[in-house]
Amino acid sequence: MTASSNSSTPLRLLAVHAHPDDESSKGAATMAMYAAAGVDVMVATCTDGSRGDIQNPAMETAPHPKRDMAGARRVEMANAAGFLGVAQRWLGFVDSGLPEGDPLPPLPMGSFATLTLEHAAAPLVRLVRDFKPQVILAYDENGGYPHPDHIMAHRVAVEAFEAAGDPSRYPGTGEPWQPSKLYYDRAFSPERFRALHFALEEAGLQSPYAERLAAWLESDAEGHTPPPPKHPTTTQVDCGDYFEARDDALRAHRTQIDPLGFFFAVSTDMQRRAWPWEDYTLISSHVESTLPERDLFAGLR
């Protein structure tokens, strides 16, 4: 039976991410806030992260990731989920890695981004039908940034949103369930980076965002660099009280996140003053709500 939310149905949120650590850098404070408020929150992690490089200098000599990167990242993911208060499910695919070179080499055979859409989306359709979320969070068409796994994560999230409620599609993956709302995450919102940049400059501190903002301005003028996200913000979630939980979850991904790096350039107090929101674009909805929104569940409560 196809279903949607009513007053007696628990609210459920599903966030679809490419690798372990992506959930902590995109929408983490939103998830922690909703989880603390009693919403059932689930992270779907598409790949095992096995082809990730060590990004934290303090972990370069650690034996576990050198021996078993996927295993190390499973431990990190469990710790991060604990800080956010969310459930997490692995979809079971192999990290494609980020190809480098000119020309780019082919992706490893059988990795996530090389699969057919139907093959890659089937586990997520099954999860949607089992978990029954009203709201799905996904990346935009560019994947947030153009990593092949991020682009595939976008594609499978949209496919699952559109297909999970159709009984004729993906037979054998559970009873149909139609999610009510699909959002794209805007973690790379230019408006947010601008606000943080000027807050740092006003405080007499060096901003790490100047280069990114300059690249976006050049793109706007000449089209030479990757453009900023093209979808406007429709929904801002005021989740500043959960920035510490987000940062704890980020630091839990010890192989990927440098605790002295980019993500921690602005204090949580300054972030709360300058931009206490996380930003989203409502892409598709089966319920009525008035834009702009302050709640991902607007129209469902």
CATH number at residue 120: 3.40.50.10320
What pLDDT, on the 0 to 100 scale, is given for residue 228? 63
- Is 17 annotated in a binding site? The answer is no
Residue 188 has pLDDT above 70, yes or no: yes
CA distance 267 to 243: 10
Residue 220 has pLDDT above 60, yes or no: no
* Of 152, 156, 157, 175, residue with least CA distance to 165: 175
Q: Domain for residue 198, yes or no? A: no
Nearest to 139 by CA among 52, 253, 23, 48: 23
Which range of 189-193, 230-234, 274-278 scores highest in mean pLDDT? It is: 274-278
**What rounded mean pLDDT belongs to the chain?**
92
Q: Where are the beta strands (DSSP E) in 108-264?
A: 135-138, 181-185, 235-238
The b/e string for 225-250 (b: 16+ C-beta within 10 A; e otherwise) is eeebbebebbbbbebbebbebbbbbb
pTM: 0.93
Known binding residue 119? Answer is no
Lowest mean pLDDT among 1-10, 146-155, 182-191, 200-209: 1-10
What is the average per-residue pLDDT within 42-52?
97
**Stretch 137-154: mean pLDDT, rounded?**
94
| 211 confidence band (pLDDT: 50, 70, 90) | confident
With respect to residue 228, please indicate whether it lies within any of the assigned structural domains.
no
Query: Is residue 141 pLDDT above 90, yes or no?
Result: yes
Q: What are phi and psi of 95, to 5 degrees?
A: -50, 135
Cα angle 188, 190, 193; round to 5? 80
Confidence of residue 218 (pLDDT cuts 50, 70, 90): low
Residue 219 confidence (pLDDT): 59
Both tokens assigned to 69: 């990167």
**31 belongs to a structural domain:** yes
In this structure, is residue 257 part of a structural domain? no
* 2: pLDDT strictly greater than 70: no
- Average pLDDT, integer, range 116-123: 98
pLDDT of residue 12: 98
Cα separation, 99 vs 93, in Å, equals 17
Segment 286-296 mean pLDDT = 96
Sign of the alpha-carbon torsion through 161, 166, 168, 171: positive
Which residue range(s) make up the domain with 135? 12-188+277-285
Binning pLDDT at 50, 70 and 90, where does residue 4 land?
A: very low
Task: Check the annotation: does 150 bind a ligand.
Answer: yes
Residue 298 domain-assigned (yes or no) = no
The count of structural domains within the chain is 1
Q: Is 128 part of a structural domain of the chain?
A: yes
Evaluate whether residue 237 is within a structural domain. no
What distance, in Å, lies between the first and last C-alpha atoms of the chain?
21
Give residue 67's pLDDT band: very low, low, confident or very high (50, 70, 90). very high
239 found inside a domain: no
Residue 3 has pLDDT above 50, yes or no: no
Is the omega angle on the peptide bond into residue 20 within 30 degrees of 0, that is, cis?
A: no
The rounded percent of the chain whose pLDDT value lies above 90 is 82
